Amino acid sequence: MNSFAKVAKYLNDHAESLAVKIVDDIVQRLGIELAIDDLQYYYSVYTQFIVLSAEGINLSGHEVPQGFMEMSRKNGERQASLTGKISSIIGRYPQIRLGLIEQITKVSIEHGLSTEESMSVNKRVNFMLDTTVTETILAFERQTDMVLDDRERELNEKQRAINELSAPIVPIQDGIAILPLIGTVDPERVDYIFNKVIPDIPRIKVNYLIIDFSGILTIDTYVASQLFRVYDVLRLLGINVLFTGIRPDLATKSIVAGIDFSSIKTYSTVSQAIKEID
């Protein structure tokens, strides 16, 4: 058995005791106190690092134990799924590196390795640690992208549901329907009205459409101007449009936007508009 194999065997056989020493040294050096459960967790993590380092010492070239790569991926993915910061993981590596190198160097010297051989072992361990750091970051980024994509899809679905609830076409009599605008009206809501609501109006055979603005909470000048474009589009479709519930603030923004009310029939309430139609 060559010297490298002897060092690797010793590390593997004494991984638990070496891990305890490394963790205890780090805790003492940093002047911190850890609960028993936390200590046991770190003992386990460092034991795994030492076992994998021992395996890697016997590998050639730029090979890295698969266990190292798998552990790194799991760490990165777990941190991303918890919406944590990658620095929480990467920040541990300097202490891991220092503790491992100190112990492995000591073991190498005890087993008669030359300075050059000890440097070779340390080089292998450093390479493996650098590779695991990279894999952890990549796994974190992949998982983060997946989490963000899932959240974006969820938000889009919720927004679609909100749009449908906030701009429904409500038939009230034969040939008459109401489009009540509710909540905050933003450009996305206006796009929904143009692309989803208006194309559906001819299908329900509406002759009169009452657009009620009384439920709007907030609206800006640009959105106000776009909403009044709905009037022009519906008129081209042969539908009579009546506006109700236009508050003073909306009227002011509409005037600022250069909207001409002279051709638009407006009423204070929906009931007034219905009476006018009848």
pLDDT tens-digit profile of 31-80?
Answer: 878 888 888 988 888 898 888 888 888 777 678 888 888 888 887 887 77
- Which residues of the chain fall below pLDDT 50? 164-166
Distance CA 119, CA 45 (A): 24
In 3-state terms, what secondary structure has residue 259?
A: coil
pLDDT computed for residue 233 by the predictor: 86
Q: CB–CB of 189/220 below 8 Å?
A: no
Distance CA 39, CA 93 (A): 17
Class of domain 167-277: alpha beta
pTM over 0.85: no
Edge to edge, the sheet with strand 265-267 lists 170-173, 176-184, 208-218, 240-244, 265-267
Mean pLDDT of the chain: 81
Fold (topology level) of 3-158? Globin-like (1.10.490)
The domain limits of the chain are: 3-158, 167-277
pLDDT computed for residue 92 by the predictor: 72
